[in-house]
Amino acid sequence: MNLAQRLEAARGPGTAPVPAPPSPADPVAPARSSGAGEQARRTPSPDQRVAGPSRLQKTPQPQLEAVPAQDALAKLKDRAGTILFERLGSRLLDTNLTEEQLHALVQEELVDVVAAEEVPLSREERQRLIRGVSDDVLGYGPLQQLLDDETVTEIMVNGPDMIYVEQKGKLQRSPVRFASESHLRKVIERIVARVGRRIDESSPLVDARLADGSRVNAVVPPLAVNGSSLTIRKFATDPFQVSDLIGFGTLSPEMAELLHACVEARLNIIVSGGTGTGKTTLLNVLSSFIPAGERIVTIEDAVELQLQQEHVVRLESRPSNIEGKGEITIRDLVRNSLRMRPDRIVVGEVRGGETLDMLQAMNTGHDGSLSTVHSNSPRDAVARLETLVLMAGMDLPLRAVREQIASAVDVIVQLTRLRDGTRRVTHVTEVQGMEGEIVTLQDAFVFDYSAGVDADGRFLGKPVATGVRPRFTDRFRDLGIELSPAVFGAVPVGKVR
């Protein structure tokens, strides 16, 4: 007689059949009901008692406490959120309450709401339920835990059930998901509403920012075919300092000393790099070298820079409204900034005709200005600036454009995101001037790839000085700025391009 037959004999006639134990592959085991069958499963038959350990290990183990399934928890969460909104109502919008008081109020009411439901929950499930409802009411729903995780640098939502994150430079799929497309849309609308923007079918894409400065891009149907898309690039609550970038290997100490001197000497600097290479982070670090007594005007599409100086005016562009009116472009802001008596102009990124106005500002007394541009090398950065100047709609000869660039820009700092996910400064390049029709460049620092990679695939190389002393060091001497001899102490490996 096999085990199933022995169990059937022990149960006796008229009882329900014994359900098979759940497969290990089943995500959630169904709750078992009590009754005669349950009592029979709890009390082993004489045959079971003598079957030996190997037989007993195969018998189904009783599950005494019913555990709510995932969908039941989701329904409970929705019900608790609805009741909470009914209880608090307009108090959620009370401006007299601080953020801490509002969170305390919501937590207190949530505990009462969950207790009133009288649903058996484990401690872990209760905490998860309370946090989920709290995030939906006060935060950004399922994304809140990713935003609170300091190791997550970017969040990419491809739909309600497909969320990817970047951690330590690597992309991976997150188990976090939204309940539905409408749930995702509510979170997107909450984000854009807090910065005075709107998103709907008539205006289906928007750039916005969170309270901590994190950059947000959202696209909804009909443009997003597979469901609403949301991308959040996080910025550290505590801005990175130059020591942090040195610790990450992005900069070398010698390179940092040279860039500090360049900012102090009021050289015009362009930070160049591809998407996600850390241009804004480096621009923040370079801006920290600006003396506190100078007036700085920052101009951005969405405010991201976190300048530490006191005398800062922050300007942000504005898209047109639903009627196509009211647009304020970066170019409008650059032109206006010239009337604001700036000592330095910091443009978050040049991507159009504003490049011409920025170069003119650099050439007309606003030395020490900073900006970023998308390109893959210092030489590409020059070509990119040429193209952007031509987008201003001015029919300028190419030589005149190149002369403008060569006269305005002093230093190009190139950032690259390597295959191991790290972000490194691969070039610090001086713009020396014109030779015939060509803008001449000279590397002061380059990244040395010759060391190879370690067992984990991480690059072992580092930035090294070419040994060529840039011409702008004469300006350092005139201003009394001292550089340590080790900065340019390497054997020359570069050449004029």
- Per the structure block, which two tokens stand in for 297? 């005007």
Write out the E strands in 134-220: 152-159, 162-167, 170-174, 205-209, 215-219
How far apart, in whole angstroms, are the C-alpha atoms of residue 318 and residue 144?
A: 27
* Interior angle at CA 88, CA 87 and CA 94, nearest 5: 165
Q: In the chain, what are the helix, strand and coil shares in percent, each to the nearest 5?
A: 35, 20, 45
pTM for the full model?
Answer: 0.70
Residue 144: alpha-carbon gap to chain centroid: 13
- Burial class of residue 482 (count of CB atoms within 10 Å of its CB; 0-12, 13-18, 19+): exposed
Q: Tokens for 486?
A: 């080790």
pLDDT at 79: 67
CA nearest neighbour of 489 among 470, 464, 461, 472: 464
Structure tokens at 446: 């380059």
Domain boundaries, the chain: 1-11+31-62, 139-236, 242-488
As a CATH number, domain 242-488 is 3.40.50.300
Structure tokens at 295: 């007036």
Q: Which residues pair with 70 in a beta bridge?
A: none
CATH class of 139-236: alpha beta
CA nearest to 334, candidates 303, 308, 381, 298: 298
CA separation, residue 482 to residues 85, 426, 443 (Å): 63, 24, 20
Looking at residue 70, what is its pLDDT?
Answer: 53
Cα–Cα distances (Å) from 206 to 20, 164, 194, 223, 465, in that order, read: 53, 20, 13, 12, 43
Sheet-wide strand order for 162-167: 170-174, 162-167, 152-159, 229-233, 215-219, 205-209
pLDDT value of residue 346: 93
Query: If you search the block for the tokens 């610090």, which residue do you land on?
Result: 428
Report d(CA 70, CA 86) in Å as an integer. 25
pLDDT on residue 33: 44
- The bridge status of strand 229-233 relative to strand 152-159 is antiparallel
Q: Which amino acid is at 187?
A: V
Tokens of 296: 């700085």
pLDDT at 22: 46
DSSP per residue, 388-457: HHHTT-----HHHHHHHHHHH--EEEEEEE-TTS-EEEEEEEEEEEEETTEEEEEEEEEEE-TT-B-TTS
Q: Under the phi-then-psi rule, with left for phi > 0, alpha for psi from -120 to 50, and beta for the rest, what region is 341?
A: left
Please give the pLDDT value at position 220.
Answer: 92
Direct distance between the N- and C-terminal alpha carbons of the chain, in angstroms, rounded to an integer: 88
Whole-number Å distance between alpha carbons of 191 and 139 = 9
Beta strands 312-316; 205-209: pairing state: unpaired
Cα–Cα dist 10/385, whole Å: 85
447-480 in b/e form (b: 16+ CB < 10 A) is beeeeeeeeeeebebebbbbebbbebbebbeeee
DSSP H or E stretch at residue 380: helix 378-390
Tens digit of each residue's pLDDT, the chain (497 residues): 544 454 445 444 444 444 444 444 444 444 444 444 444 444 544 444 444 444 444 444 444 344 444 556 666 666 666 666 666 665 655 556 666 666 677 777 767 776 776 666 676 766 666 676 666 666 787 888 888 888 898 999 999 889 999 987 788 999 888 878 888 888 888 888 877 778 888 888 888 878 777 888 999 988 988 889 999 988 777 778 899 999 888 999 999 999 999 999 999 999 999 988 889 889 999 999 999 889 999 998 878 888 888 899 999 888 777 777 888 999 999 999 989 999 999 998 998 889 999 999 898 888 999 999 999 999 999 999 999 999 988 888 999 999 999 999 999 999 998 888 888 999 999 999 999 899 999 999 999 888 777 877 788 888 888 988 899 988 998 999 988 888 886 444 444 44
Contact present, 11 and 47 (Cβ < 8 Å): no
Helices (H), 90-232: 99-117, 123-138, 144-148, 181-193
